[in-house]
Amino acid sequence: MKYSDDIIKLKGIGEKTAKLFYKLGIYTIKDLLFYYPKNYQSFEEPVKIAGVAEGETVTVELFLPSDFKWKKLRNLTIGTGICSDGNDKISVSYFNVPYLKNKLKVGSSFLFRGKIKIENGKYHMDQPVLFTWDEYTEKMGQLQPCYGLTAGLGNKAVMKAVKQALKELVPDFENSSEVTDDCDAGLFGEILPEEIKKEYALASRSCAFWQIHFPKDWENMLKARTRLVFDELFLFLLSVRKMKEYNEALCSDYPMIETAWTKRFLEMLPYKLTNAQIRVWQEIEKDLLSGMCMNRLVQGDVGSGKTILAFLSLLMTISNGYQGALMAPTEILAAQHFEQLSSMTKQYHLPFKPVLLTGSVSAAAKKEIYRQIEGGEFNVIIGTHALIQEKVKYRNLALVITDEQHRFGVRQREILGEKGGRTHVLVMSATPIPRTLAIILYGDLHLSVVDEMPAERLPIKNCVVNISYRRKAYEFLTKEVRAGHQVYVICPMVEAGDADMEGIQNVTDYGEKLRMELPEDVHVEILHGKMKPAEKKRIMEAFSRGDIHVLVSTTVIEVGINVPNATVMIVENAERFGLAQLHQLRGRIGRGKSQSYCIFIDGAGKEKTTERLKILNHSNDGFYIAEEDLKLRGPGDLFGIRQSGAMEFKIADIYQDAGLLKKISVTVDRMLSEDRMLESEKYARLKQYLNENAGNFIDFRTI
């Protein structure tokens, strides 16, 4: 078996199951091994009932003083029993688990693991998992991986597949004496020179792959994580440095001169640019006029007004007779940019001839669009990354703008610029990264920061509440809808998952619930990433028009959406998001002149989470929020919560791993200054790996 093989090659994975894996973005064995657990479940020592808190998941040893009672209710078989831990009593219920009938008999005792409910001082557990002591002892102390799942694909199935893949491809560090050198070429063998491994006290790579999926304990998991984070950041920074080298000497194929259009456009706008916008626009303009290729990152908090800077750059490009492209991470966002640019074109009689390229365009229509792009009949092409990069032949593409960041490699440049044309690149991002980190992460780009908000904005009013506040929140949102405004409700999940997901809201069920709870004339719709693109577009357009009052959505709404009439956002299970991400989400409101409100519902109700979420109350500054969030967390809290939804790392987190990132940056600089082409023998595996995996983010080529 090879790591590039389709996962269908694994035993037990047929066509049907493979499709479910594809849905999660897992196509190959390699994808599977890099599909890290989202979290882990640990099996601690059993406890006594006295002292456990509502909502806690615990294991208790319980004795059955009588048989469970079973009754049938329509198509449900329900079993209930009162059990005892010797001191306290607890009632336990099972639904549709008929085979337990013979087990749950008077006089027997088991370990029950589940979530505790307390009602009127009485303890209760629904559907706990049952163990004998033997079974439980075997699990105790171990951590079980919990993977991101999709309907029809359970955690056990993913675990089994991962284990099989590990066994096939990654030498087991326990059962093999020399683990590092004789395994499958490149991917899972050691890629680091010994001195670096030593300097950072890193675990071996294959050991790390085993331990991240099936850790012995937290300590081993964290060690494995550190190793994998190291690799990810190290490889990334190496490519960034190479990109920089490549970019720096790049003469532009599309030199520009000043035209009257941008000034005219600025005069016609209904508002004045902020000082920060003016400064950044000057920086961009200077790049475009310089004769060299622009490689610029524009960073600015949500709502700081980056879009207009993109439009200005496009205007300059097309009035020089070239084409420009604007790439967005989602179709929704692409459509929104297109609408905005089209309406400005009409309103101000601008020379834009824009076209929108989305997946919902029919094949025949696409062909025609391609023809017109090649013929130069369109001068601005807006679409998602994939669409703009695939197949399209441009006439003279001079500027590529990527909204909400997307790395740009040598290969992408070549594809877009066709035959190696040297396009200008502008990257726009709202991810709040402190400047010191941005310089490391985007070392291949010049940095501009829009560090000022347009005036006339009322700061968003925030509150953090527990779930008992929900009813009040619904009343409030109804009131706002009556006043002509619109509302976002954010849930972490798309659909109901497995039992682990209890208490975690999903868009599908929540939409249904809201339709029942809210007055009939309040129009509720749902939106999530698994919907067909055409459907997503329809809903987003209806929301933009104001036809939908309440939009229940996953974080697909996170990036870039602009509906100034939306004034309320309710975030369910706010505790499950990183603060920086919540801040990004919140940026969808507070975009118009009316007062906006953000209600964070803390589904966990733990004191620490509440304290953390309250940071959001005090500040609207994304950079500050991200830093404070980090200070409040211990290393144990950090796994599984990602701060930066938009970053492309699989396991590293730029905030959490900021220290390591800085250190690696120094190491990489040192390495390259000693051996620019990595020619030394000690880098042989590393180089092989980089070449085999080129294109992951940035190509590492011998340039």
Which residues form the interface with ligand ADP (CB under 6 A)?
A: 271, 273-274, 277, 300, 302-308, 430, 454, 560, 562, 564, 591
**492 contact, one of Mg ion, ligand ADP, none, CB 5-8 Å limit per kind:** none
Question: What x/- string results for residues 233 through 262 when contact with Mg ion is judged by CB under 5 A?
Answer: ------------------------------
Closer to ligand ADP by CB, 277 or 573: give it: 277
**Which pair of tokens denotes residue 591?**
């975009």
**46 contact, one of ligand ADP, Mg ion, none, CB 5-8 Å limit per kind:** none
Question: What x/- string results for residues 559 through 598 when contact with Mg ion is judged by CB under 5 A?
Answer: -x--------------------------------------
By three-state DSSP, how is residue 357 classified? strand
Rounded Cα distance, 618 and 610, in Å: 13
Closer to ligand ADP by CB, 95 or 271: give it: 271
CB of 281 to ligand ADP, least distance (A): 11
Closer to ligand ADP by CB, 403 or 699: give it: 403
Alpha-helix runs per DSSP H in 150-204: 155-169, 194-199
CB of 298 to Mg ion, least distance (A): 10
**591 contact, one of Mg ion, ligand ADP, none, CB 5-8 Å limit per kind:** ligand ADP
Closer to ligand ADP by CB, 62 or 302: give it: 302
β-pairing, 109-119 vs 57-63, is: antiparallel
Closer to ligand ADP by CB, 13 or 308: give it: 308
| Stretch near Mg ion under the rule CB under 5 A, chosen from 196-204, 536-544, 553-561, 658-666 | 553-561
Closer to ligand ADP by CB, 198 or 272: give it: 272
Rounded Cα distance, 405 and 195, in Å: 34
Alpha-helix runs per DSSP H in 420-532: 435-441, 470-482, 507-517
CB of 305 to ligand ADP, least distance (A): 3
Is residue 300 part of the contact set for Mg ion (CB under 5 A)? Answer: no
CB of 540 to Mg ion, least distance (A): 15
Closer to Mg ion by CB, 237 or 333: give it: 333
**603 contact, one of ligand ADP, Mg ion, none, CB 5-8 Å limit per kind:** none
CB of 568 to Mg ion, least distance (A): 20
C-alpha distances (whole Å) from 508 to each of 20, 495, 526, 536, 657 are: 19, 5, 7, 14, 34
* C-alpha closest to that of 154 among 490, 488, 500: 500
By three-state DSSP, how is residue 190 classified? coil
Per the DSSP assignment, residues forming a β-bridge with 131 are: 111
Closer to ligand ADP by CB, 267 or 607: give it: 267
Phi, psi for residue 94 in degrees, rounded to 5:
-125, 145
Which residue type sits at 596?
Answer: S
CB of 556 to Mg ion, least distance (A): 14
Q: Report DSSP letters for 85-98, one per residue.
A: -SS-EEEEEEES-G
Residue 101: HSE in the Cβ half-sphere, 13 Å Cα cutoff: 10
CB of 615 to ligand ADP, least distance (A): 21
Closer to Mg ion by CB, 511 or 560: give it: 560
When CB distances to Mg ion are compared, the closest residue is 560
Alpha-helix runs per DSSP H in 269-389: 275-289, 307-319, 331-348, 363-374, 385-389
**303 contact, one of ligand ADP, Mg ion, none, CB 5-8 Å limit per kind:** ligand ADP
Rg (C-alpha) for the chain, rounded Å, is 28
**Which pair of tokens denotes residue 584?**
């990004």
CB of 124 to ligand ADP, least distance (A): 47
Q: Count the site residues for Mg ion by CB under 5 A.
A: 1
**454 contact, one of ligand ADP, Mg ion, none, CB 5-8 Å limit per kind:** ligand ADP
Could you tell me which residues come within 8 angstroms of residue 75 by beta carbon, excluding any fewer than 6 positions away? none
Buried b (16+ CB within 10 A) or exposed e, 14-38: eeebbebbeebebbbbbbbbbbbbe
When CB distances to ligand ADP are compared, the closest residue is 305
Rounded Cα distance, 400 and 490, in Å: 32
**59 contact, one of ligand ADP, Mg ion, none, CB 5-8 Å limit per kind:** none
**81 contact, one of ligand ADP, Mg ion, none, CB 5-8 Å limit per kind:** none
Closer to ligand ADP by CB, 381 or 450: give it: 450
C-alpha distances (whole Å) from 134 to each of 107, 127, 130 are: 18, 20, 12
Which residue shows structure tokens 């084409």?
A: 323
Rounded Cα distance, 49 and 620, in Å: 43
CB of 184 to ligand ADP, least distance (A): 44
Rounded Cα distance, 40 and 211, in Å: 12
Query: How many residues are there in the chain?
Result: 703
Q: Which of residues 149-208 bind Mg ion (CB under 5 A)?
A: none
Cα 166–Cα 172–Cα 176 angle in degrees, nearest 5 = 150
CB of 262 to ligand ADP, least distance (A): 15
**271 contact, one of ligand ADP, Mg ion, none, CB 5-8 Å limit per kind:** ligand ADP
**304 contact, one of Mg ion, ligand ADP, none, CB 5-8 Å limit per kind:** ligand ADP
CB atoms within 10 A of CB 175: 7
- Is residue 189 within 8 A of residue 180, CB to CB? The reply is yes
**Which pair of tokens denotes residue 567?**
């004034």
CB atoms within 10 A of CB 617: 13
CB of 204 to Mg ion, least distance (A): 43
**300 contact, one of ligand ADP, Mg ion, none, CB 5-8 Å limit per kind:** ligand ADP
**274 contact, one of ligand ADP, Mg ion, none, CB 5-8 Å limit per kind:** ligand ADP
CB of 90 to ligand ADP, least distance (A): 51
Closer to ligand ADP by CB, 404 or 653: give it: 404
Closer to Mg ion by CB, 113 or 306: give it: 306
Which residue type sits at 297?
Answer: L
Could you tell me which residues come within 8 angstroms of residue 692 by beta carbon, excluding any fewer than 6 positions away? 185, 186, 187
Q: Residues in the site for Mg ion, rule: CB under 5 A?
A: 560
